[in-house]
Amino acid sequence: MRGPRGPLVRGSPAEVVRWGVPEPSPIARLRPKKAFGQNFLVNDGAIRTIVAGALGSSAPRLLEIGPGPGVLTERLLADGRPLWAVDLDPEACALLQQRFNGQAHFHLLQGDAVRIALPVGEPWSVVGNLPYNAATPILGRLLTEDIPWDRMVLMFQLEVAQKLMGEPGTKAYGPLSVLAQLCARLTRLAKLGPGSFRPSPKVDSAVVQFEPRADAPTLAERRPLLTVLHRSFAHRRKTLANNWQGTLEAEALSSVGLTSALRAEAITPSAWLLATRHLLRQHPEVFPS
């Protein structure tokens, strides 16, 4: 490997890379704001990886979350598919309008990606360098609401990516692991060091690709599943019987396939889904109305 201005040497998908995009860059025209969790991607190899992943989907529409100065946007628009970009930062939106408003297939939505109304219609290929302070709720929305997507290629803080891909019995395994793995097949495309961003964060990051599973839980099952998971993982060192104390007895847990003496981290995603389905039928009272 060569220095920061050298060419990208292809290696393993998880290789840490730090090459920057050439100057002058639109990044220099936008002031990053800590309140919006902005760390702009400048690693050209990572940019190409993300764009290639997103455009590898057959979805007829593109949805970019947190485009910032539009480094990904520019390359996504070159594909020709309609692209909707969602950003909360008024300065970023002004720059994006200035750069891309002349392209008829570019559509800008200013607002919070956690709650902004999205156009209904055909499936999306979703792409984004997600702000660290909102990445989990944004992903939660994409996984639990009626937002059709064919593929998602998203950047997370490395710790969040590790939780998404956490395996039963490990510290990383938790509610986010279960929901994500039941809804999608996950692939880590790249691991990035702080030097891949401006300003440089204090943590590593990772790009994760999501492809929907044919056997995913129905939308109606996903929020109840999270209710079960959050109750069961509330105190990781306690058994299921202790976490459900006062709500369900040990016998009731066992009847839906949850061994009350186990800790939540020992139970596989498929077992969580089956238990949630049984609870919905047998104990609907445990779910918020």
Which segment of 9-23, 165-179, 221-235, 264-278 scores lowest on mean pLDDT? 9-23
- Same domain for 255 and 180, yes or no, is no
Structure tokens at 147: 């937002």
* 203 belongs to a structural domain: yes
Q: What is the dihedral of CA 62, 63, 68, 69, to 10 degrees?
A: 20
Please report which helix (H) or strand (E) contains residue 253, including its range: helix 250-255
- Same domain for 103 and 208, yes or no, is yes
Which neighbouring-strand residues pair with 185? 211
- Same domain for 195 and 232, yes or no, is no
Indicate which CATH number applies to the domain containing 263. Answer: 1.10.8.100
Q: Which domain holds residue 55?
A: 16-212
* 84 belongs to a structural domain: yes
Please report which helix (H) or strand (E) contains residue 241, including its range: helix 240-243
Contact 155/181 with Cβ under 8 angstroms? Answer: no
Domain count, the chain: 2
Alpha helices (runs of H) in the chain, residue ranges in sequence order: 44-55, 71-77, 90-100, 135-144, 158-164, 175-183, 219-232, 240-243, 250-255, 269-282
pLDDT of residue 25: 63
Last residue of a domain, one of 196, 212, 228: 212
Q: What is the pTM of this model?
A: 0.89
- Same domain for 196 and 231, yes or no, is no
20-53 residue pLDDT tens? 444 456 666 787 777 777 788 999 999 999 999 9
* 1 belongs to a structural domain: no
Contact 25/2 with Cβ under 8 angstroms? Answer: no
118-172 residue pLDDT tens? 999 999 999 999 988 899 999 999 999 999 999 999 999 999 999 999 999 999 9
- Same domain for 75 and 60, yes or no, is yes
